[in-house]
Structure 1
Amino acid sequence: MAPLPGETYFQALEPYPYVSTGIPFFEACLHHAVDTFGAERIYVIVSTSISITANFTRLKTALGTRIIGVRYGIRQHVPWDDVVEVAQELVDLDADLVVTLGAGSLTDAAKVATLAAANDALTIDALEKLRGKDSAAIRPVTIPTINIPTSLAGGEYNPHAGATDLRIHRKAGFTHPSMVARLVILDPALTISTPARVWLSSGVRAVDHCVEGLCSPFFREDAGQTEANQTASKKQEIENIFLDGLAKLLPSLLTTKTYPTDLDARRNEMLGVLDSMRGLLLGNVQVGASHGIGHQLGPLGVGHGETSCVMLPAVLRWNLERGDDFVRRRQQLVLQAFWAHQTVSELLKAGGLDQGTATAGEVVRTYVASLGMPTTLQDVGIRREWLDKLAENSMTDRNISTNPVPIAGAAQVKEILNLAMDGQRTESR
């Protein structure tokens, strides 16, 4: 398939997704919908806010009569009710392509809904049974998806999705290789209208991917990965990808905070997100407690990226205080990545930090605060009386078990939550 003039088109991961960038999103979407996928019956999932803008009008005009259905908005953290409604419409309308225009909740909803449609899981109970099945017993997705993201969440690159069972207010994970998008269209100009808090906090989420990736037990010599992933060269490749991601993200997010219309910075951030996801996926690198706890903060009303803003500093602190030499070495690598960039180091020094003594938790918290993002659980409306239940729910998340410092039970999760609640700046050295 030949790219259009001005378009950059490449394979991001094996086998999917491919990435298109360099031309307006609606032109790329029409080109690939018709010439790549041969689609005639396109179902669009658009965020409520974007649906009233000229950008959505441009997409509708481009796709024309090929659009056979539109879903206006998915509630935050993807309630199962929304998923089964979309899955039912995909079946009823005989859709042959899904296009999402918006942020991470739409991406996850499309993943789970297309999987549900392929497996006739069109009720809440059927969706619950689908989640419990072995991957080999699940029929693969048959309707391809094009994601046009307007945040830096990064979910468009992986075959995982989170959706919330509102009956118990718990977010559950769905995974199947076929759920990943076939194509991701990156258009920095489209994202200028994304609210600054959403854009910047989702950028911190990508930073969290890189930081917890760099600190992952994957890099331990005794981690027990497959033979292919045990080689030093493989680990070095993945480490470099995470560092490249931070090199793109950290200074560019600061630029966007001050100059929101700088398209080069936004493009760098979008490519930094791709680096963060490539690092995780190429080596099946597992993240830790910042993600594990963050998944359960979502159902309590905390925004997807804001969970990383408030949890990553506390998790880094807790891990440093209880970790071994491996943990200290990996956090030192994180520190080097932050201090390596002049604009970032100047900001950290202005925040009162010293390069020789500051810990990774302090550095991340200062950086997050400089973006104007929340840094404590209190900032995002979490009450102390909720912490016990939150700790219990977090223990059900698989990323708790892959934290670089083992977490034995809910009591230790609560220790981390207390650090995030108080936002104390004094840390063990």
Structure 2
Amino acid sequence: MTPAESHDRQLPDLAGGPVQRFDYPAVGRVTAGVPCVEAVPEEVERLGARRALLFVSASLERRTGIAEALGRALGARYAGMVASQSAHITDAIVLEAAGRLRGCDADLAVVVGGGALVDTVKMAVLAVTHEVREASQLAPLRLSFEGEGGPKSPCRLEPRLRQLVVPTTLTGAEWSDLTGSAERPEAPKRYYSAQRLGALSVVYDPWLAVHTPLPLWLSSGMRAVDHAVEGICSVAPAALMEAAGVGALRLLGQALPRCREAPEDVAARAACQRGAWLAATGMGRVRVGASHGLGHLLAGLAGVPHGLTSALLLPSVLRFNRAVNADRQALCAEALGAEDAADAVASLVERLGLRQPLADLRLSAERLRPVAEAAPGHFLVRSNPRPIRQAADAMAILEDALRALPPPA
């Protein structure tokens, strides 16, 4: 057989599809299981940074004094600290953070906190790189969703500086080049992306993670489960994501309930971090579906925190998609020690105590109707394994999710 003749042959179905493309994330190093006060100074020195500006969650700093400890450990390389108090990323907060980076001539951002803080610093780095000093200058940098082939970014410049991230939740934001901000807290988020906008180095510190409030830890863990499940079930899967996703579900399915039982268990927190690390393998590199897409809309239009959106939506999305990807869902179910993926995820949500917080949000079909109406045009919903062509399709998922909730307390 000649090479030309071989091109006419169709490959057997391997790992969900014969043709696979995967762009590796630009994370240079992951350090897991080392206290960040030891690992961060070593990484800053290894990276050759002269001026490291520290961004830290204000509530975490009050509980732990971690910024002061890191400042002492960084010595002459420490360029100061920015304490973040908002879970909402607005243009004004982004411009303020960018001004702090410029003002101290930072060549590295050290971020200690959750996904919102990581995404804020991504936006700030984007603003510094593109000389953005007013909110109106962000508009030309937004992702475009016109045409086929997924969202397109106009940002072509190499970031002027990168991030070293110490995540305190399990969202995996450090692995993604996607970010966003809104004009005001209640306004829709606009999305941005650029190559190498995510972390250059990641430090997973389970001792610090013990200080993350348990409800936030568990709900962000469901976000990691969502990354793994929708990565495995992608319409364009990748062999690496399948293997990593299965490993992530095995870890998270055991370690998250253990964290609820024993919040001070450092080993359980470490296992969750490694599960989140594996689950994030495909973030921004493997197409996800309606749980992520509807989750973005729920967060923006109904104010539901991202981790809780995954707890609410993922079982119903799996049920909706079962007719077209039962084989992929079987991999998820097996990794979670069950026969059915939707039932396994729903059981995990129950074991983590996340149903009641969802019920207490008092969501209703009427309140979720704008989410359903926006869903068919959302870029993540458009890549759902079973097409969502009209608002009624999305509404069926949302109503199924609401039926699973107990009465409000």
Q: What's the TM-score, normalizing by structure 2?
A: 0.85
Alpha-carbon offset, residue 162 of structure 1? 3.4
Deviates most, 153-162 or 76-85: 76-85
Deviation of 1:144 after TM superposition, in Å, equals: 1.8
CA distance in 2, matches of 1:333, 1:387: 31
Structure 1: gaps (5+ residues): 1-11, 220-234, 340-344, 346-354
Between the aligned partners of 1:315 and 1:376, the Cα distance in structure 2 is 20
The residue identity in structure 2 corresponding to 1:248 is L
User: Which amino acid in structure 1 is aligned with residue 294 of structure 2?
Assistant: I
2:295 and 2:313 in contact (8 A); partners too:
yes
SS class of match (2:110): strand
Match of 1:92? 103
1:173 aligns with 2:191: yes
Partner letter of residue 331 of structure 2?
Answer: L
Percent of pairs with identical residues: 33
Q: Which residue of 2 aligns with 1:259?
A: 262
Give 2:120's aligned residue: 109
Q: State the distance in 1 between where 2:275 and 2:55 align.
A: 25
Per the alignment, residue 246 of structure 1 pairs with 249
Select between 235-244 and 373-382 the one with higher mean Cα deviation: 373-382
CA distance in 2, matches of 1:409, 1:383: 19
Q: How do residues 38-49 of structure 1 correspond to structure 2 at under 5 angstroms? A: 38-49=48-59
Name the SS of the counterpart of 1:193 in structure 2: coil
Structure 1 residues 25 and 380: CA distance shift in structure 2, 3 A: same
CA distance in 2, matches of 1:314, 1:162: 26
Structure 2 distance, partners of 1:72, 1:41, is 17
Partner of 2:19: none
Structure 1 counterpart of 2:179, one-letter code: A
SS at match of 1:95: coil
Q: Structure 2 counterpart of 1:364, which letter?
A: V
In 1: Cα distance, 2:155 partner to 2:274 partner? 35
Which SS does the other structure have where 2:165 is aligned? strand
Q: Are 1:155 and 2:168 matched, yes or no?
A: no
2:247/2:335 contact within 8 Å kept: no
Give 1:290's aligned residue.
Answer: 291
Q: What is the alpha-carbon distance in structure 2 between the residues aligned to residue 331 and residue 114 of structure 1? A: 38
Aligned to 1:303: 305
Aligned counterparts of 1:309 and 1:163: Cα–Cα separation in 2: 23
How far residue 60 of structure 1 moved from its aligned partner, in angstroms, is 2.2
> What SS does the corresponding residue of 2:380 show, helix, strand or coil?
helix
Q: 1:250 to 1:75 in 2, by over 3 A?
A: same
In structure 1, how many angstroms separate the alpha carbons of the residues matched to 2:37 and 2:362?
38
Aligned twin of 2:7: none
Counterpart of 1:314 in structure 2 is 316
1:413 equivalent in alignment to 2:394: yes
**RMSD between aligned alpha carbons?**
2.4
Report the 3-state secondary structure (helix = DSSP H, G, I; strand = E; otherwise coil) of the residue aligned with 1:398: coil
**Residue 280 of structure 1: CA displacement?**
4.6
Matched, 1:50 2:53: no
- What is the aligned residue count? 375
SS at match of 2:199: coil
Specify the alignment match of 1:31 in structure 2. Answer: 42
Distance in 1 (CA, whole Å) between partners of 2:88 and 2:53 is: 21
Alignment match, 1:4: none
Summarize the Cα distance change of 1:115–1:83 in structure 2 as closer, same or farther, 3 Å threshold.
same
Paired residue for 1:209? 227
Shifted more, 14-23 versus 373-382: the winner is 373-382
What is the deviation of 1:123? Answer: 2.0
Pair 61,13 (structure 1): closer, same or farther in 2 beyond 3 Å: farther
Indicate conservation of the 8 Å contact 2:155/2:194, yes or no: no
Cα deviation 1:180-212 (Å, max 9, x = unaligned): 211111110010010001111111111111111
Call closer, same or farther: CA 1:137–1:263 in 2, change over 3 Å.
closer
Q: Give the unaligned 5+ runs of structure 2.
A: 1-22, 145-151
Match of 2:149 in 1: none
Superposition deviation, residue 122 in structure 1 = 2.4
Deviates more, 1:124-133 or 1:179-188: 124-133
User: What TM-score do you get using the length of structure 1 for normalisation?
Assistant: 0.81
Deviating more after overlay: 52-61 vs 302-311: 52-61
In 2: Cα distance, 1:302 partner to 1:420 partner? 14
* 1:187–1:137 Cα change, 3 Å: closer
Residue 77 to residue 317, structure 1, CA distance change in 2 (3 Å): farther
Q: Secondary structure at the match of 1:401?
A: helix
Q: Distance in 2 between matches of 1:167 and 1:424?
A: 27
Displacement over 4 Å in runs of 4+: none
- Give distance in 2, aligned partners of 1:392 and 1:417: 12
Once residues 143 and 353 of structure 2 are traced to their aligned partners in structure 1, the CA distance between those partners, rounded to angstroms, is: 40
Q: How far apart, CA to CA, are the structure 1 residues paired with 2:218 and 2:399? A: 25
Task: Determine helix, strand or coil for the equivalent of 2:210.
Answer: helix
**Residue 213 of structure 2 corresponds to which residue in structure 1?**
195
Q: Could you say what secondary structure the match of 1:386 adopts?
A: helix
Q: CA deviation at 1:42?
A: 2.2
Which range moves more in the overlay, 145-154 or 311-320?
311-320
